[in-house]
Amino acid sequence: MILIAVEVRRSPLALLLALLLLACWPSLAAAACEKTLRWDDDPPFSMQTEDGTVVGISIEINRAALALLGCQTRLRKLPWARALKELELGRLDILPGAFRRPERESYAYFSGPVLPPSRNILFMHSQALQRWSFTRLLELQHTEFRLGAQIDVAYGADYEQLVSEPAFAAQLSLVANRSNLWRMVGKERIDGVIADENTGAYEIQQLGLSDRIKPTAVVVSSEAAEIAFSKRSNDPAFVQAYADALRELVVDGSYARIVQRYTRP
């Protein structure tokens, strides 16, 4: 206060500027931390509504974590390969849903597996559920089960072993578009589909098939994705604080509530 009084006598204008600075300090502090977050059309994790708003599980949980750290979020729509390059160059700060790979660790920090893994599971129509009770994908061997999967999608070791058998491969329906697979299950042309548990629940709901197609307990793969941070624009302390914020959102139930909004009818 003594310093301010001295400055008043020297320059009333200086006091006015100081008061304006103090009044604006909260917004200035928030603006000092702005992070770019990648998104693309990948419901229910990230997507754009008809009014142009970007929403989704990944968007909401990462925005909430940044808010806990006092940071603003700026979204960038990028295809996956381009997002990795932008992360390397430091023009993208945060890339959710990334798997840790040695070549990526040269330019990115990783959060660790903080969020619950989004698993690939087997979905089946109601009649198939009454006929079969599987606990592992390999139990489909030597059955008449008609499985649907997407072309050029990796589902893990059990799937590769299963489809390597010519007899079962003959029963496999490979389709490029997953929405076509859901319709095939709904019409009972095939018995089941492998899909990400959250994506599957969302897409079934959107197609109005929630009463006909159900998730099963058969987990096909469950490798946990992490969040990648550009080393050019972040430091280890920020990454640790971010991971801690995400853990808090998991523990207090925020993450589960966000997932439920997008995956439950």
pLDDT at 265: 64
Q: Which domain holds residue 150?
A: 120-221
Q: Is residue 98 part of a domain?
A: yes
Q: Is residue 8 part of a domain?
A: no
pLDDT tens for each residue of 206-252: 999 999 999 999 999 888 889 999 999 999 999 999 999 999 999 99
Asked if 233 and 88 touch (Cβ cutoff 8 Å), the reply is: no
What's the Cα-to-Cα distance from 110 to each of 34, 89, 172, 176, 234, rounded to whole Å? 19, 16, 37, 31, 11
State both tokens at 51. 């009014």
How far, CA to CA in Å, does 183 sit from each of 19, 150, 151, 188, 203?
A: 64, 14, 16, 8, 11
pLDDT digits (tens, 9 = 90+) for 103-127: 999 999 999 999 988 789 999 999 9
Q: Answer whether 122's CB lies under 8 Å from 134's CB.
A: yes
Tell me whether residue 6 is in a domain: no
* Contact status, residue 207 vs residue 165, Cβ threshold 8 Å: no
184 in the same domain as 214: yes
- pLDDT tens track for 49-63: 999 999 999 999 999
Q: Do 184 and 213 have their domain in common?
A: yes
Instruction: Tell me the mean pLDDT in the region 26-51.
Output: 82
52 in any annotated domain: yes
Domain membership of residue 12 (yes or no) is: no
108 phi and psi angles, rounded to 5 deg: -135, 145
135 and 108 within one domain:
no
Is 18 a member of any domain? no
Q: Where are the alpha helices (DSSP H) in the chain?
A: 2-10, 12-32, 57-68, 80-89, 126-131, 157-163, 166-169, 178-186, 197-206, 236-251, 254-263
Least confident residue range of 28-32, 70-74, 76-80, 257-261: 28-32
